[in-house]
Amino acid sequence: MTATHSRLLAFGSAFPERVLTNHDLAQRIDTSDAWIRERTGIEQRRQLADGENNSDIAAAAAQAAMARAGIDASDIDLVLACTNTPDRWLPSLGAAVQARLGLRAGVPAYDIVTACAGWLAGLQTADALVRTGHHRHVLVIGSEALTRFVDWSDRNTCVLFGDGAGATIVAPAQADDGGVLIDVRLHSDGRYGDIMTLPAGGTAMPTTPEAATRRLNCIHMDGREVYAHAVRAMVEVSQEVLTRNGLTLGDVDWFVPHQANLRIIQAVARRLGMPAERVATNVHKYGNTSTATIPTCLQEYEADGRIRRGQLVLMTAFGGGLTWASGLMRW
Ligand code: ACO
């Protein structure tokens, strides 16, 4: 049976308990709380403890979303784990989460790897599979363990990232249901792959002792280039998704951008003409958690009543690849 639309039933999120403040980082590297706040808006981030893994927070976020939606584990018929930092390269994070949640054997589970735009790519995939009748309850998780992939001696990158997970369940809907996903647009441009990369660990460069010594198994980034592309791309794709659906920025109640850093968010909002009071942020508490930033923001703003039923939500993300995306939802 096909549905005219898909809808997001509820949100869940999970963060490791360990808090790493800017002051903590300033004890280890040549930086300061003032520099990090001024350039990024980040005050602290969460970090997995030794022995904790991405699948721990991914499963916890999924359980929170299922509880909130009143959905039993036996109802889930597909798991999409959007991540760049799985527990292991094989098996997938999706498969690890499927086992952790005790889902029915045979329920498909796989990963979507599209940098920070991953969760929106997951929503687009889930939407198509729900509307064509392939699946009825798709768990879409954005979950990251980025602190395991940063070079803690590189002040250009290590201050930016944190660990966290957010999740939703996508199910069939009619156009007038709450939580309806209106549209998702996704783009990539592989020509700029080198401006944000994790060089070692793939076929191009095995993780040899030499590669590890040179910290090539960690995230490398040209911050200024990323900044310029991120602002341009997120503005363009936001305008694209609105125009395609006959909407304008004035129709948008909440703008939920990827939380890379506050300066990028403010520049995008300014260029779009979006007032600050309609822009959702949680980057000050969690840093950049990549695929988890949008679902964790949605969870927080919906749970405390700021995002209300019937409101139009515009979501936008940008990440390595390059990949960028925008989605519209009527909560
Ligand atoms: N503490 C103190 N000083 C620092 C730090 C730090 N943590 N990091 C860099 N600096 C220094 C630099 O070494 C440089 O010193 P120099 O002039 O002596 O060489 C100085 O600060 C200025 O460096 P810039 O790179 O010019 O600083 P900029 O104002 O561009 O800010 C930043 C850097 C915050 C990384 C910025 O470029 C940025 O926000 N880029 C986007 C990157 C991003 O958010 N990536 C996330 C992943 S991609 C995504 O999710 C969209």
Instruction: Spell out the per-residue pLDDT of the chain, length 331, in tens.
Output: 678 899 999 999 999 999 999 999 999 999 999 999 999 999 999 999 999 999 999 999 999 999 999 999 999 999 999 999 999 999 999 999 999 999 989 999 999 999 999 999 999 999 999 999 999 999 999 999 999 999 999 999 999 999 999 999 999 998 788 999 999 999 999 999 999 999 999 999 999 999 999 999 999 999 999 999 999 999 999 999 999 999 999 999 999 999 999 999 999 999 999 999 999 999 999 999 999 999 999 999 999 999 999 999 999 999 999 999 999 999 9
Spelled out in words, what is the top-level CATH class assigned to the domain 6-176? alpha beta
Which of 255, 302, 258, 330 shows the shortest CA–CA distance to 68?
302
Catalytic residue, from 84, 217, 258, 282: name it.
258
User: Ligand 1 centroid vs 107 CA: distance in angstroms?
Assistant: 43
What is the CB < 6 Å shell around ligand 1?
31, 35-36, 39-40, 116, 155-156, 159-160, 196, 221, 223-224, 226-227, 230, 260-261, 263-264, 288, 318-319
Catalytic residue, from 116, 158, 218, 297: name it.
116
Dist. CA 34–CA 45, nearest whole Å: 15
Domain boundaries, the chain: 6-176, 181-330
Total H helices, total E strands in the chain: 11, 13
* CATH architecture of the domain with range 181-330: 3-Layer(aba) Sandwich (3.40)
Task: Determine the 3-state secondary structure of 63 from DSSP.
Answer: helix
Q: Which amino acid is at 156?
A: N
Nearest CA to ligand 1 atom 31: 39
